[in-house]
Structure 1
């Protein structure tokens, strides 16, 4: 603890917990949407159904909102992150942060942290691209960095394993009209969100979204490329999932993965890092495995490394199924 007293430490923890509770409640109650435009205190009170002066003071004090010319609105960066044009669902990220706080408590109390279907939707939304122009820019960066992927799927077949709400596959389908894809997602409620997004984008004729265990998938024809959302696959499922991916790829077909989390080097960041790691490990997930470790795991399943890349979005690896008969 150094020179910081126990009382000061508790105060810091308490302030952080209260601020997150305020932000998540504001999200849940609709304040973050309502304050996307400047509002008077009277307008906020009418929206809330009660005198909201103290709530507004708290939102301003915590940097969630600002008061300009007698009106209240979201702080600028937060407003941008919550806008419809943002590449990710920041509201879901707020909800997931509150969920993680509850999960930490579950693990400490019971040693486990079960996830409901509704919570799975929150998690999936929080990490997925929202198919829009900004997200298409993100996917374009990935395809520019990995031209083999673009070449394979421009008029080819993509298998998206652990698709979540379809952020990558649906955004990519909206970019590449010749793409045909199959999306595999374990949780039906999560897959249902992906289906609704596909309908909104008009790509249901090209993206087949299936709610199923990826280990049980049998490809009728080989795929040209696979994107595997590996961070969300528990240890006991990974070997069988990789075997399925290998069976599903054509000889020479490619597999793209991303290292989603990395252990920080900064002491303060490392301390915070222990909490999501606590939850992930309790759920059997391989949290923050290094890219070298991931590559070794996949190579052991019969793939050959093409290369690893460091891009603005993080570390990724491109691997290939060796050129051989599909039965090999």
Structure 2
């Protein structure tokens, strides 16, 4: 009996996180989080019809979870959650909650013999959850990243052109375009619904006239020696598509052109449960999510690229290689 009770307690401990997510979702749906941005009291929230005692319990839980903070009788969101609810950096509470739901639903399929691919709607949820918006803070981050890659940065300053393969919602692509006013680019994404989202964001960012967005499989690229630089979002590509994608990127780059890829997960001797869940979620789709920078360098060399170099940046380890 003691063993069973221990296991039960473990499961209930795991459920704590999901229950807190649902509490945040409920508070968001009720409009409480918006009110907490400027500060609210128990009495103010209770005026909506929820008993004051229950309002107090919810607020105390949000404080304990680090979502809110209290000063005297007033409750406010913490700076981190205030930024998430405001959503100005392109990272929003709604998209985060959708991604949490997607991950939970997908993990539930882990023991099925075959896991279906993402629907267009699911691909859009995933795209919205990754990356940032083209804000000033994001541009500052990317400028620091490119300082660690001066040869890549120089091509961007000279106008590129840049090939962005696996653009998603265009976080990296649009931020880079706004950081380098003379840059021109082509973004490639296989899901038309995601490309439409990126196209809308490009219009809002004022860079639509400098970027061509293509809803195609990267293996169908026909460009030859057109681009000075390329960024490949390699972590989201199926294993069976990687070699063909790299071959098309190789052809599309000019001689001496540069390819940049990112190590998504830090390499750990003993991965955390969070890392293991991320790996399971993405690898169910047949990707090589989580490849090390060293493995990526070897892959680029095998595809014909020369002199792969691993660079440590604020975005983690990046690998830069050259087309001979």
TM over 0.5: yes
Contact 1:231 1:287 in 2 (8 A): yes
Partner Cα distance (2:116, 2:67) in 1: 30
Could you say if the C-alpha distance between residues 141 and 235 of structure 1 is closer, same or farther in structure 2, counting changes exceeding 3 Å? same
Instruction: Give 1:180 shift.
Output: 0.5
Which residue, 169, 173, 186 being the options, matches 2:173? 169
Which residue does 1:207 correspond to in 2? 211
TM-score (normalised: structure 1) = 0.87
- DSSP-derived class of the 2:145 partner: helix
Partner Cα distance (2:13, 2:116) in 1: 26
Could you say if the C-alpha distance between residues 285 and 32 of structure 1 is closer, same or farther in structure 2, counting changes exceeding 3 Å? farther
Partner Cα distance (1:115, 1:34) in 2: 35
Which residue, 108, 113, 116 being the options, matches 2:111? 108
Contact 2:87 2:93 in 1 (8 A): no
- Say yes or no: does 1:224 pair with 2:225: no
- DSSP-derived class of the 2:122 partner: helix
- DSSP-derived class of the 1:107 partner: coil
- Say yes or no: does 1:249 pair with 2:253: yes
Which residue does 1:278 correspond to in 2? 280
Instruction: Give 1:102 shift.
Output: 2.1
Q: How many residues were matched structurally?
A: 317
Q: Deviations over 1:161-207 (max 9, x none)?
A: 00001111111111111100000111112111111111111111101
Q: Deviations over 1:29-58 (max 9, x none)?
A: 554444322123454356x67557254344
The runs of 5 or more residues in structure 2 that have no matched partner are none
The runs of 5 or more residues in structure 1 that have no matched partner are 323-328
Contact 2:148 2:312 in 1 (8 A): no
Could you say if the C-alpha distance between residues 204 and 220 of structure 1 is closer, same or farther in structure 2, counting changes exceeding 3 Å? farther
Contact 2:305 2:321 in 1 (8 A): yes
Contact 2:297 2:309 in 1 (8 A): no
Which residue does 2:10 correspond to in 1? 9
Contact 2:89 2:134 in 1 (8 A): no
Which residue does 1:70 correspond to in 2? 73
Instruction: Give 1:92 shift.
Output: 2.7
Which residue, 122, 126, 129 being the options, matches 1:123? 126
- DSSP-derived class of the 1:119 partner: helix
Which residue does 1:297 correspond to in 2? 299
Partner Cα distance (1:37, 1:108) in 2: 45
Contact 1:254 1:318 in 2 (8 A): yes
TM-score (normalised: structure 2) = 0.88
The CA RMSD measured in Å over matched residues stands at 2.5
- DSSP-derived class of the 1:286 partner: coil
